[in-house]
Amino acid sequence: MRDNVKPGEKWEFNEDVAACFANMLERSIPDYKSMRALTYKAGERFIQPDTLIVDVGCSTGLAVEPFVEKYQDENDFLLIDNAPAMVDACRKRFAAVPGVLVKAGNLWEYLPLPDKASLVLSVLSLRFMPTSYRQKMLSDIYEGLTPGGALILVEKIVSESLDELMVHLYYEMKRENGYTDDQIMDKRRSLENVLSPLKVGWNVDMLRTAGFKQVAMFWRCLNFCGWIAVK
């Protein structure tokens, strides 16, 4: 379904958003297909049999779906999201797969993780969670990983320099993808105080403080980037 959501005063991941979420992301995340493909290809390298694969802020389950398709016989999956509409959509997507557990609630309620995980995905989610909790959540995720396991973290960021230009180019991309100026500005207003992107350096510092020894940026386009962090 095409994204024609009229955002309220404060952004919500509600039924309307869940219904068109795939289209919304495709048209709102720059270089979306590469991000998805690389997240999968990089993530696959760290999966160990009989461990958990975790997706935090899973939304409708788009990031974890290819992992479920390939690894459902060897791994269990724990997916967490605090938006009821997203949880419903995600549960429907994986209803036929017994090893997929979708939990509703704030991520920090499910940390530390119940079992050892070899792969944790956090794709465009942490930016919606309180900044003051992020270090603790990343440290708990690190503790829950098996040695050699990894966190794939994709975030919107604030550019260390030329931030205004990045934002301008981002809005241009959204226009090219069929969003009107009003839609772009309405969403921007609605997301204020809901979304808190941080600078690259701040994200990397948190990953290192959590304990990750190897941290590498594997993808970046404008103000969006992704890291692989290995335990």
Enumerate residues 196-225 that contact ligand SAM by CB under 6 A. Answer: none
Q: How many residues line the site for ligand SAM (CB under 6 A)?
A: 19
Which residue, 72 or 106, has its beta carbon nearer to ligand SAM? Answer: 106
Q: Is 138 in the site for ligand SAM (CB under 6 A)?
A: no
Report the distance separating Cα 128 and Cα 103, nearest Å: 17
Q: Please identify which residue in the block is written with the tokens 């997706």.
A: 55
Q: Is 148 left (phi over 0), alpha (psi -120 to 50) or beta?
A: left
Q: Tokens for 161, please give them.
A: 């320099």
Which residue, 121 or 204, has its beta carbon nearer to ligand SAM? Answer: 121
| Cβ contacts of 34-38, under 8 Å, gap ≥ 24 | 34/219, 34/221, 35/154, 35/219, 35/221, 35/224, 35/226, 36/62, 36/63, 38/218, 38/219, 38/226
- Which of helix, strand or coil describes residue 115? coil
Q: Is 81 in the site for ligand SAM (CB under 6 A)?
A: yes
Q: Is 102 in the site for ligand SAM (CB under 6 A)?
A: no
Q: Which of 79, 100, 123, 153 binds ligand SAM (CB under 6 A)?
A: 123
Which residue, 136 or 165, has its beta carbon nearer to ligand SAM? Answer: 136
What are the CA-CA distances from residue 190 to residues 1, 7, 197 (Å)?
Answer: 21, 6, 15
Which residue, 66 or 211, has its beta carbon nearer to ligand SAM? Answer: 66
Q: Tokens for 59, please give them.
A: 């939304």
Q: Which of 13, 67, 71, 212 binds ligand SAM (CB under 6 A)?
A: 13
Q: Which of 28, 75, 118, 125 binds ligand SAM (CB under 6 A)?
A: 125
Q: Is 141 in the site for ligand SAM (CB under 6 A)?
A: no
Q: Is 62 in the site for ligand SAM (CB under 6 A)?
A: yes
Q: Which of 100, 91, 98, 27 is nearest to 59 (CA)?
A: 91
Q: Which of 47, 100, 117, 129 binds ligand SAM (CB under 6 A)?
A: 129
Residue ranges that bind ligand SAM, judged by CB under 6 A = 13, 25, 57-59, 62-63, 80-83, 86, 106-107, 123-125, 128-129
